[in-house]
A and B are shown apart, each in its own frame.
Chain A
Amino acid sequence: MLTFAFRKLLTLVGTMIGIAALTFLITNVAPGDPARLVAGPNATEDMVATIRTEYGLDKSLPEQFIVYMGELVRGDLGTSIVTTRPVLEEVMRYAPATLELVFVAMFLGIVIGVPLGMLSAVYKDGPLDQVTRIFSISGVAIPAFWFGILLQLVFSVDLEWLPVSGRLPLVTRPPEFVTGLLLVDSLIAGNFATFWTSLQHIILPAIVLSFPCLASILRVNRAEMIEVLQSDYIVAARAHGISSFRIVALYALKNAMLPTLAMIGLRFGWMLGSTVLVETVFDWPGIGLYAVSSALSSDFKPVVGVTLMIGFFFIVANTLVDLAYAWIDPRLRKA
C-alpha cells in the first residue's frame, strides 16, 4: 500500500510538470505580442523593447521555458500587471473561497447523490426512480449561469430568504484566518452568527455548482448498484441470511462505489473549472472570478496562475481517488 501511494505521488509530480509545460506553450502560441500587450496601446517601440528585455521575452523559447520552470519551482508565478502584486500571493488569497465553494458543492453532490442513486437502484423503475431520472437529466442539461440567476430571482429577490451574492456582508468582520474557509474558521472562532451568515451566502452558489455533479453521481451510482445487486455474491449473501439493509448499504454499495469514485474525481476537476461561471454570477471572490477579471484586462500571468492552481487541485483530487480505490479494493493494492 505504501509503495502504491509513493508511486502515485511520483506520477503526481510528473503530471504537474506536464501541465506547466502545456500552459507555457498555450500562452506562447496565443496570438499577440505579450510585451506590446503589457506596454499598452500608446507605448513607443522603445518601451516595448524595454519591457521585452525586462520580461525575458527576447530569449529563445526553450530558454524562456527553463526560466519559467525555474520560477515555478521557486513558487514564483509572476506579477499581476493590474495589481502589481505577486500572482501566487493573490491566488492563495482567492483559493480558499473557491475551495470552500467546491467542497460544499461536492459534499452536497455525494451526500445526496449516492443515497438517491442507491435508492433508485433498489426501487428501479418505481416512482422515486422516475423522479430522480427527470431530476438528473435536468441537472446535466440546465446551464449553470441560467440556473444561478433563476435561484437568485426566486430565493433572494422574490422570497428574500438568502443573500444575492458575495461571501459575507461588507459590514461583517471575517473570522480570524486559519484555513481560509469561512465556515471552518468561524466555527474555530466560536462565532456561530458568522457561520450562519456565511452558510446562507454559500448555499445558492453551492447548489448551482453541485447540481450537474450530483446528477451524474446519482446516475453512475444507480447504474452500478443495479449491476452489483444482480451479481452472484449478492445472491449468495441473501442465501446466507444477511439482512437486506446490510446487503444494500454495505456489501453492494462498497462495490458500486468504485466507479462512483472515479466520477467524483472527474467532477471535482470539472467543478473547479465551472467556478469561473458560478463565481461570476454570484460575485464570489474566488480564483474563478479573479481569472475572469484578469482575462478581461489582458493580465495573462494571473490566468496562467489560476490554470496551474486548478490543474494542481485536480491532480491532487484524482490521486486521492486512486488511493481511495486501493483502500477499497484489495485487488488493486498489489499493482
Chain B
Amino acid sequence: MTALLDIKNYRLDIGTFDGPVHVLKGINLTVNRGDTVGIVGESGSGKTVLVRSVLGIGPRNSKVVEGSISFDGQDITNLPEKDWTKIRGIRISMIFQDPMTYLNPLFTIGRQISDVIAAHEKAAGQGVSSKAARRARTEELLDQVGLPNPSMLFSQYPHQLSGGMRQRILIAMALAGKPDILIADEPTTALDVTVQAQVLDLINSLVEKLNLTVIMISHDIGAIATVAKRCAVMYKGEIVEQGMTQDILNRPQHEYTQRLLAAVPDIDVAPERVAAEVSEAKPGKRGNLLEAIDLKKVYRSQSGTDFTAVNSISLAVKTGEIFGVVGESGSGKSTLARMLMRLIEPTSGDIIFDGQNISGLSGEPLRQMRRHMQFVFQNPHSALNGRHTIGDAIGEPLRIQTDMSRRDIEARAEALLDIVQLPTMFKYRYPHELSGGQKQRVCIARAIALNPRLLILDEPTSALDISVQAQVLDFLQELRSELNLTYVFISHNLAVIRQICDHTIVMKRGEIVEQGDTEQIFLAPREEYTKSLIESGRKTSQAANLQV
C-alpha cells in the first residue's frame, strides 16, 4: 500500500536579507491512511512551515532545496497554483491555532462555510449548487462538529461566538470537502482547559466516524498524546525522533525529547518545594502584604447593560508567599490583577497594601506606591518596545521613579541583567534579537528594578515554550528567596499553579469559587467546578506524563 502522504528528505530554505535560512533540514515522514500523527516541537522548530508546505501555503520567499512531498502517489512538491485547487481544502484541509483570528470578522459564519463548499464544487468541476443546498450542507457540517442550533449560527458573525465555538466552526470548514487528511496546527493552544478537552474529544470522534487521517502539531505533548498514535519530535528543523507515541513518552531516546518531557509540569505530582518551604517559615513573621476587601468591577456598556467582571472579591496575600489565581478566560483574573495595582479603577472595594489603603490614592502618592508593586505581563513579545534597547527598557522605571544619574542607572541595569542570569552585554541589544524566554527575563528584570516587594505576574509563562516555561518558573522561585519577594501568580495552567503556588484561589465568572492551600485544593477539591477544572487539566497532563 502506498502511503497517503510521503515526505522524503525535504529541505526548505527561506531567503532573508542575510541570506538563506535552513528551516527544514531533511525531513522524512510517512503518513498512511487512517493514521493519527503528532508533530511535537517548540516555536521555531519548523513544524508549522512543514505542514503548511504540505498544503502549498509555505512562507513567502521559501525554496525547496531538496527532497519531495507526495500525496496519494502524486508529487506535490512544486505544484503549480492552479493544480492546488483540487487538493487544498478538499483533499487536505487544515485547522488553525487561534480561532479568534482565523475567521473573517466581516462575514457571517454561514457565508464563510458556504463559500468553502462552493469553492470545492467549482474545483470538482460539478457546478456550484443552489444557495439552499449549500445552506443545508453547512448546517449539516455545523451539526457534525457538535454545535447547537445550526440554523441560528448560520447568520451569526464570528465575534458573537466563544473561542471553543469558533474552533468548531473552523473544523466544520475543514471538513466541508470530506478531506483525506486533516492538519491541525496547535488546535487547542489558544483555548481554555475545559474547552481544550472538548475539542480534542471532537477530533478523536471525527477520526473514528469519518476515518480521517490526522496530522496534529503542537508544543503541548499532552494534547498530542490524546489524539495521535504515532508522533514525531521536531527540533531546529529536524525530526530527531519518531515512533509510537506511547514509546516516545515512556522511553524517549533523543536527549532533546528527554528534556522536553522532563519540563512538562505534572498536575498530579506534588512539588518537593512545599516541604522545604514549611520548615523555613517562621511563625508570626508572615503578616498580610496585600489585602483586597470586597473588590468589585462593573463595566457598563453603551446600551446600559451591566457586566460584572469581578464581583465582591476579598483576599489576603501573606508576605513572602506565592499566591495563585487560577481560572478560565473571562473569569476576571486579569481584571482582578490589574485592579490590585490600580491599573484598572475598581468600581468599589478597598485595596490595602502593607497596611495602607491605596484605593483612595491618586497622583504622586499613588506613583510612589507603585514602586513597591510591579507587573509582569503575559506576552513578553509585546511588553517590550521594539525600538528601545534592553538597557533602556530595564532602566526606564529607574529614570521615571528615581533621580539616579545616567551612569548609576546603567550600572543598575547591568546588575539586574546579572540577577536575571543574562549577559550584561545584552543591554545593547534590541528585543527582536532575544528569544521569548530571554525577553520574559528582561521583563522581570524591569519589574524588579525598583526593588519592589510585590510582583504581580499575569500568565508569565503561557506565551513561552514548555522547556522555557520550566526555566522561568525555577528562576522565579530562586528570585523570590533572593529578593524577599511576594508574588501574585495568575495562570490558567493548573499544573503550573500546583508546582509553584502556596495559596490558591479558583475564579469563575468574577467570583472566588474555592480558595485555600494549593495542595489541599489539588488533593481534595471541595467544589464541583474545581474538580472539573482539575479533571480537564489532568486529561492532557496525564497523557503526557504517562506511567504505564
Interface string of B268-284 (1 = CB under 8 A from A): 00000000000000000
Q: Tell whether A331 pairs with B57 under 8 Å between CB atoms, given A240-B93, A240-B174, A240-B176.
A: no
**Which B residues, 48 to 107, have Cβ-Cβ distances below 8 Å to chain A?**
55, 57, 81, 85, 88-90, 93-94, 96, 98, 101-107
Query: Which of B114-122, B205-213, B361-369 forms part of the interface with chain A?
Result: B114-122
Q: Is the CB of B302 within 8 A of A232?
A: no
Query: Which of A138-146, A243-251, A278-286, A289-297 forms part of the interface with chain B?
Result: A243-251
Q: Tell whether A254 pairs with B106 under 8 Å between CB atoms, given A231-B101, A240-B116, A242-B116.
A: yes
**Residue with the greatest number of chain A CB neighbours at <10 A, chosen from B81, B105, B120:** B105
Q: Is the CB of B115 within 8 A of A242?
A: yes
Interface string of A302-331 (1 = CB under 8 A from B): 000000000000000000000000001111
What are 25 pairs between A and B in contact, CB < 8 Å?
Answer: A232-B102, A233-B101, A233-B103, A233-B104, A233-B105, A236-B94, A239-B55, A239-B88, A240-B89, A240-B93, A240-B116, A240-B173, A241-B85, A241-B90, A241-B93, A241-B120, A242-B115, A243-B119, A246-B115, A254-B106, A254-B107, A255-B105, A329-B106, A330-B159, A331-B105
Q: Beyond A239-B89, A242-B116, list 11 extra A-B contacts (CB 8 Å).
A: A232-B98, A233-B104, A237-B104, A238-B88, A239-B55, A241-B116, A243-B119, A254-B107, A330-B105, A330-B157, A335-B302
Q: Is the CB of A238 within 8 A of B57?
A: yes
Give the residues in chain B near A239, CB-CB below 8 Å.
55, 57, 88-89, 93-94, 96
**Interface presence of B261 (CB below 8 A):** no
Contact of A242 among B81, B106, B119, B302 (CB under 8 A): B119
**Interface presence of A47 (CB below 8 A):** no
**Interface presence of A157 (CB below 8 A):** no
Contact of B57 among A235, A251, A334 (CB under 8 A): A235
- Give the shortest distance, in Å, between B224 (CB) and chain A (any CB): 21
Q: 4 nearest interchain CB pairs?
A: A241-B89, A232-B101, A240-B89, A330-B157
- Residues in B lying within 8 Å of A, measured CB to CB: 55, 57, 81, 85, 88-90, 93-94, 96, 98, 101-107, 115-116, 119-120, 122-123, 157, 159, 170, 173-174, 176-177, 302-303
- Give the shortest distance, in Å, between A335 (CB) and chain B (any CB): 6
Q: Is the CB of B106 within 8 A of A330?
A: yes
Closest to B113 in A: A240
Q: Is the CB of B88 within 8 A of A236?
A: no
Bound form: Cα–Cα A329–B85 in Å: 29
- Give the shortest distance, in Å, between B309 (CB) and chain A (any CB): 18
Give the residues in chain A near B88, CB-CB below 8 Å.
238-241
Give the residues in chain B near A255, CB-CB below 8 Å.
104-106
- Chain A: number of interface residues, binned into ranges: 20 to 34
Interface string of A187-217 (1 = CB under 8 A from B): 0000000000000000000000000000000
- Give the shortest distance, in Å, between B170 (CB) and chain A (any CB): 7
Q: Tell whether A236 pairs with B81 under 8 Å between CB atoms, given A241-B88, A241-B89, A241-B116.
A: no
Q: Is the CB of B107 within 8 A of A251?
A: yes
Q: Is the CB of B102 within 8 A of A241?
A: no
Q: Is the CB of B104 within 8 A of A251?
A: yes
Give the residues in chain B near A236, CB-CB below 8 Å.
94, 96, 102-103, 170, 173
Give the residues in chain B near A232, CB-CB below 8 Å.
96, 98, 101-102
Q: Tell whether A242 pairs with B89 under 8 Å between CB atoms, given A235-B57, A251-B107.
A: yes
Bound form: Cα–Cα A246–B122 in Å: 13
Give the residues in chain B near A243, CB-CB below 8 Å.
85, 119, 122
Give the residues in chain A near B122, CB-CB below 8 Å.
243
Give the residues in chain A near B123, CB-CB below 8 Å.
241
**Residue with the greatest number of chain A CB neighbours at <10 A, chosen from B96, B106, B303:** B106
Contact of A329 among B96, B105, B120 (CB under 8 A): B105
Give the residues in chain B near A335, CB-CB below 8 Å.
302
Bound form: Cα–Cα A240–B105 in Å: 16
Closest to A231 in B: B101
Give the residues in chain A near B101, CB-CB below 8 Å.
231-233
**Which A residues, 249 to 278, have Cβ-Cβ distances below 8 Å to chain B?**
251, 254-255
Bound form: Cα–Cα A254–B177 in Å: 25
- Give the shortest distance, in Å, between B191 (CB) and chain A (any CB): 15
- Give the shortest distance, in Å, between B155 (CB) and chain A (any CB): 10
Closest to A254 in B: B106
Closest to A257 in B: B106
Q: Tell whether A246 pairs with B104 under 8 Å between CB atoms, given A236-B96, A238-B88, A240-B173.
A: no
- Give the shortest distance, in Å, between A185 (CB) and chain B (any CB): 38
Bound form: Cα–Cα A254–B173 in Å: 21
Bound form: Cα–Cα A243–B119 in Å: 7
Q: Tell whether A246 pairs with B119 under 8 Å between CB atoms, given A240-B174, A334-B303.
A: yes
